[in-house]
Amino acid sequence: MKPTIYDVAKKAGVSIATVSKVMNNQPVRKKTREKVLEAMEELDYKPNILASALMGKRTSTIGFLLPDIANPFVAEMARRVEDRAHEKGYNLVICSTDFDREKEALYVSLLNQKSVDGFILAGDFKNEDVLKSLLEEHIPVVLLAASHPSLLVNSVRVDDFIGGYEVASHLISLGHKKIAVIGEDATSSKERIRGFKQALQENEMNLRDEMVVIGGSSSEDAELSAAKLLADPEPPTAIFACNDILSMGVILAARGRDIRIPDDLSIVGFDNTLLSMNSDPPLTTVEQPIQDMCSQAVDLLIEEIEGKSKTKQRIIMMPRLIIRNSTSEYRAEDDA
């Protein structure tokens, strides 16, 4: 069997209380401490975290709920969160929720049973009741790449409104007049679209309702939406897809109709994932400061977990437009 605190105590010739004290850095005579440490070393003793957690100590485990770990943007966040958490001595249990309220509730409940120390909720968390009860029970939570307008909860995200605004400004500067937008049913998309519209309005342009479509999260969903948009007798000359994955669908739709990018159609994405860098053509997109966002989110959470919590924060970071080859100047050309 694996050595327990009793084995260490016996070998060091002290009581288990003393062993516990050296583990928890409580006052112990130097000589005694050394004896204990030595015994631990010899036995290759590793304290059982379950037992100490049962006594109210931390598990040093964070529940990380996200929409879908297979999504490249999400996966990259996961890596950043993991690295930061690891630096601070925490592990991550990761659950993909697919924006499904049931799954959200189930996973939160499950992880609570397993006594995680807190939660990072990435992307829109749909089940507000669950979020509220987490807050009521004072379980540490931080929202990542999301925020809540009325709840007192830590959150870290990019300024989606500005992101959308920048995209529109770019397209306008290229002379595009007829523009469409494809988003998913999430707050981030909606904010991006709001910013997008704002820029248009400031230039006395407007976005007809038929030109904005909110749909599913997959590339295929976007492909369908884009196909419809492009079938219009007067099709858009530019499409803003609210993230890179959706953009891939748009590219495919255009390719399917022999529409050249960017000559006939400009496309802009969001997130600056690997996909956008290697797509055909490389995609103009908006970069989020993932690394910073994730570090901050972890730091906020751990501060709360470890009780050094200051006041709740809503941190909003700035996005950056990255211009590649999927956008170009609009040239009126009659193909008819």
Partner DNA sequence: ATGAAAGCGCTAACAG
Partner DNA sequence: CTGTTAGCGCTTTCAT
User: What is the CA angle 51-52-55, rounded to 5?
Assistant: 95
Q: What, of DNA, its own copies, none, does residue 32 touch, CB below 5 to 8 Å by kind?
A: DNA
Binding mask 115-144 for its own copies (x = CB under 8 A): x-----------------------------
Q: Which is nearer to DNA, 20 or 61 (CB)?
A: 20
Contact (Cβ atoms closer than 8 angstroms) between residue 256 and residue 315: no
Rounded CA separation 323/211 (Å): 23
Contact (Cβ atoms closer than 8 angstroms) between residue 178 and residue 212: no
Is residue 111 part of the contact set for its own copies (CB under 8 A)? yes
- Token pair, residue 34, equals 């050394």
Secondary structure of 302-325 in the HEC alphabet? HHHHCCCCCCCCEEEECCEEECCC
3-class DSSP state for residue 152?
Answer: coil
CA distances from 81 to 140, 151, 161 (A): 16, 23, 24
Binding mask 233-272 for its own copies (x = CB under 8 A): ------------x--x--xx--------------------
Given candidates 38, 41, 42, 83, which one binds its own copies under the rule CB under 8 A? 83
Least distance to DNA, CB of residue 141, Å = 22
Kind and range of the H or E element at 336?
none
Query: Residue count at the site for its own copies (CB under 8 A)?
Result: 49
Q: Which residues bind DNA (CB under 7 A)?
A: 1-2, 4-6, 13-18, 20-21, 23-24, 26-29, 31-33, 47-48, 51-52, 54-57
Least distance to DNA, CB of residue 17, Å = 3
Least distance to its own copies, CB of residue 278, Å = 5
- Cα-Cα-Cα-Cα torsion 230, 249, 317, 295, nearest 10 degrees, comes to 180
Q: What, of its own copies, DNA, none, does residue 185 touch, CB below 5 to 8 Å by kind?
A: none
Contact (Cβ atoms closer than 8 angstroms) between residue 298 and residue 84: yes
How many of the other CB atoms lie within 10 Å of CB of 336?
3
Given candidates 15, 24, 26, 48, which one binds its own copies under the rule CB under 8 A? 48
Question: Of 19, 21, 24, which is closest to residue 3 (Cα–Cα)?
Answer: 19
**Length of the chain measured in residues:** 336
Least distance to its own copies, CB of residue 242, Å = 17
Instruction: List the interface residues with its own copies, window 194-233 (CB under 8 A).
Output: 219
Rounded CA separation 234/210 (Å): 12
Given candidates 109, 173, 201, 203, which one binds its own copies under the rule CB under 8 A? 109
Is residue 289 part of the contact set for its own copies (CB under 8 A)? no
How many of the other CB atoms lie within 10 Å of CB of 88?
14
Is residue 113 part of the contact set for its own copies (CB under 8 A)? yes
Q: Which of these segments, 18-26, 155-163, 276-284, 308-316, binds its own copies (CB under 8 A)? A: 276-284
* List of residues contacting its own copies (CB under 8 A): 46-51, 53-54, 59, 61, 68-72, 74-76, 78-79, 82-83, 86, 91-96, 109-115, 219, 245, 248, 251-252, 274-275, 277-282
